[in-house]
């Protein structure tokens, strides 16, 4: 099984949709490295690779919200921070216990589930707001 972005996740802003696809690719690379029994270094690397991209993607969305005066910015940012914190916890677990079955389940269900529901609800609400703004 693979973690993959699918078209039901389209939000309608190509730049954001591309970033979401990249996030799913990196999430899948992380899952594959854990499940495939790769070296500690490789798992550490794929997790760092995901964290780095999540950080830059969230920063891009938050900059857009700030630039357009989005009233839901604080709540949206709090969700991003929760995901970033989850990645920190996951990394601590990986360092302590290695690539366990519990780590696989957390990546496969928790992180993926979080991302999907965040895109469905929270990112879509942002896009609805942006699309209703008068064109400048
Ligand atoms: Fe977001």
Q: Name all contacts of 95-100 with Cβ < 8 Å and 24+ positions apart.
A: 95/44, 98/40, 99/33, 99/34, 99/35, 99/37, 99/38, 99/40, 99/43
Report whether 128 contacts 11 (CB < 8 A).
Answer: no
How many residues in total does the chain contain? 136
* pLDDT score for 94: 94
The answer to whether residue 1 sits within a structural domain is no
**Residue 118 CA to ligand 1 centre (angstroms):** 6
- How many domains is the chain built from? 1
CA of 106 to the centre of ligand 1 (A): 20
Residue that wins the pLDDT comparison between 19 and 1? 19
Q: State yes or no: pLDDT of 17 exceeds 90.
A: yes
Residue 54 lies in a domain: yes
CATH number at residue 112: 1.20.120.50
Domain span at residue 120 reads 12-132
* Residue 5, domain member (yes or no): no
pLDDT at 69: 97
Four-CA torsion 65, 67, 70, 74, nearest 10 degrees = 60
In a domain, 64, yes or no: yes
Round to whole Å and give the CA distance between 84 and 87.
Answer: 5
| Residue list, CB under 5 A from ion ligand 1 | 61, 123
Residue 32: its pLDDT value, please?
A: 94
Q: What pLDDT digit, counting tens, does each position of 52-86 carry?
A: 999 999 999 999 999 999 999 999 999 999 999 99
Flag whether pLDDT at 1 surpasses 70.
no
Q: Read off the pTM.
A: 0.93
């Amino acid at each position: 099984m693979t973690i993959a972005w699918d078209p039901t996740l389209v939000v309608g802003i190509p730049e954001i949709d591309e970033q979401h696809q990249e996030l799913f690719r990196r999430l899948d690379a992380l899952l594959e490295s854990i499940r495939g029994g790769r070296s500690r270094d490789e798992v550490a690397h794929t997790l760092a690779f995901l964290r780095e991209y999540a950080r830059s993607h969230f920063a891009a969305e938050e900059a857009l919200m700030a630039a357009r005066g989005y009233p839901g910015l604080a709540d949206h940012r709090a969700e991003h921070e929760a995901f970033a914190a989850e990645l920190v916890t996951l990394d601590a677990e990986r360092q302590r216990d290695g690539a366990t079955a519990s780590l696989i389940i957390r990546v496969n269900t928790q992180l993926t589930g979080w991302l999907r529901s965040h895109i469905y609800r929270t990112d879509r609400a942002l896009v609805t707001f942006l699309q209703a703004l008068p064109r400048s």
